[in-house]
Amino acid sequence: MGGNKKREKSQKRKKSSTTDQNEKGLKQQRQGSNTKDDVTVSDILSQTHSVLYPSDSDNNLPVFDSEVTLHTSNTMSESSAENENFEKYVREQFNFLRISVSNVLEKQNIITKRLDEYEVRMERNESMCKEQSKSLDFAHKDIKTKNTKMSAQCESLQKSLNDANKIIENLQRRQLDFERQAIKNNLRLVGYHEQEGEHAEKAVNKV
């Protein structure tokens, strides 16, 4: 009688431990599904296959061997209750895995779509950069050509200005020479008129 009570208490502890471990396993897997590096489609499919098709050579499930243990020494009612709990747990696991697979595939589709969009943007930006580079090269060449032409024009204008200054200097020099010559001519005329006046005065005095 005492042995039966001990077995019942031991079985209750095992059931409680199994339930806690199952909930802990669900929580850990749900937390792991939030990180794309910890959960992959291959891992999820492998776990699903292990749950649905366990190995005949192993009485414990490969994925939940530390969480679910068959108690062959239990009564039929206890085994049936454990089987129902196990089936419920497996269904929950399967639904969770199915949702996880769907989420992973959805994330992969989103990532693939974003990568395609980024690739299109990169190609567009690269094309724009090439066009801008061509435009800048053309503008640089055009500015360089215009600077060369303007430099040549400035040199030509400077040369023309120097020539004009020389012409102005020559004209000024000629004007000075002309003014000097005019002054000399005026002085000669004044001297000639004075001589003529003296001759006339002498002629009058003789008369």
Query: What's the rounded Cα separation, in Å, for the pair 135 and 143?
Result: 12
User: Does any domain span residue 206?
Assistant: no
Helices (H) and strands (E) in the chain, counts: 3, 0
Domain assignment present for residue 69? The answer is yes
Tell me if 150 is assigned to some domain: no
How large is the angle between the packed helices 41-52 and 76-206, nearest 10 degrees? 170
Per-residue confidence of the chain (207 residues) as pLDDT tens digits? 444 555 555 555 444 544 555 555 545 554 444 444 455 556 666 666 665 555 554 444 444 444 444 444 445 555 666 777 888 888 888 889 889 888 999 999 999 999 999 999 999 999 999 999 999 999 999 999 999 999 999 999 999 999 999 999 999 999 998 888 888 888 887 776 677 666 666 666 665
Alpha-carbon torsion (109, 115, 117, 123), positive or negative: negative
In a domain, 171, yes or no: no
Three-class SS state of 193 = helix
What residue numbers bound the domain in which 49 lies?
A: 2-114
> Residue 78, by phi and psi: left (phi above 0), alpha (psi -120 to 50) or beta?
alpha
Q: Is 145 contained in some domain?
A: no
Number of structural domains (the chain) is: 1
Would residue 156 count as lying in a domain?
no
* Residue in 72, 30, 68 with CA at minimum distance from that of residue 50: 68
